[in-house]
Amino acid sequence: MFFYYYDWTILILIPPLLLSIYAQFKVNSTYRKFSEVKNARGLTGREVARRILDANGLYDIQIEHIRGNLTDHFDPSSNTIRLSDSVDNSTSVAAIGVAAHECGHAVQHAVGYTPIKIRTAMVPITNFSSNLSILFIIVGLLISNMYRATQGNNFGFTISVIGICLFAVATVFQLITLPVEFNASARALKTLETDMILYDDEIPMAKKVLSAAALTYVAALISSIATLLRLVLIVFSGNRRR
């Protein structure tokens, strides 16, 4: 009886889950390691952020402190970079890398970097579709089960497919996020090196921190793709059984 109700599609989510766990471990351990290495110039995350912004003519962007650990982000709606407890006043190489990365996002907006313009435009759409996708799929499956004996009735299946399409929007959002994050890190490392904010032996340390952080976005995309695939299998296999 157990095997009759066993949903094998859950196995699809195991590899992405393990990757996500590893990615989170990697970013935490890497940041913790290089947060103990102070940069030779003694600059804080806030000082580096201000220096990079001013060098790019972004004098109007403010820098604020935000509570938490690695909660750093750039808010384009208020033109503000928010640096966390572990970055704002820290002189560690790890903090410098994170601060420079957030400045990379600010520069992307300033120069009109296409992927970040697309991602920003997709935020409200993604929030809307994510909230409704699972609801549509569940309702569609329930309707399909209720009318399974009714030949030719595919209304529930149609609703489920709409739910899959809505979820696919979130997957596309995750895909667009990758070049945005990679480009911000590339801009950060180039600036840290060319403006001599970090010494040559410190650049690889900052790169390891940003590479570990990038892995979390890769894991998020793979998890989203795996979930989308599982939903497709559940909905379409259920329709074939009708």
Residues annotated as catalytic are: 102
CA atoms within 13 A on the CB side of 100: 32
Q: For residue 69, how far is the Cα from the chain centroid?
A: 16
The enclosing H or E element of 230 equals helix 203-240
Q: For residue 209, how far is the Cα from the chain centroid?
A: 16
DSSP of 98-153: HHHHHHHHHHHHHHT-HHHHHHHHHHHHHHHHHHHHHHHHHHHHHHHHHTTTSTT-
The dihedral region occupied by 42, where left means phi > 0, alpha psi between -120 and 50, and beta the remainder, is left
What whole-number distance in Å separates Cα of residue 21 and Cα of residue 184?
24
Describe the crossing of helices 93-111 and 14-34 by its angle, rounded to 10 degrees: 110
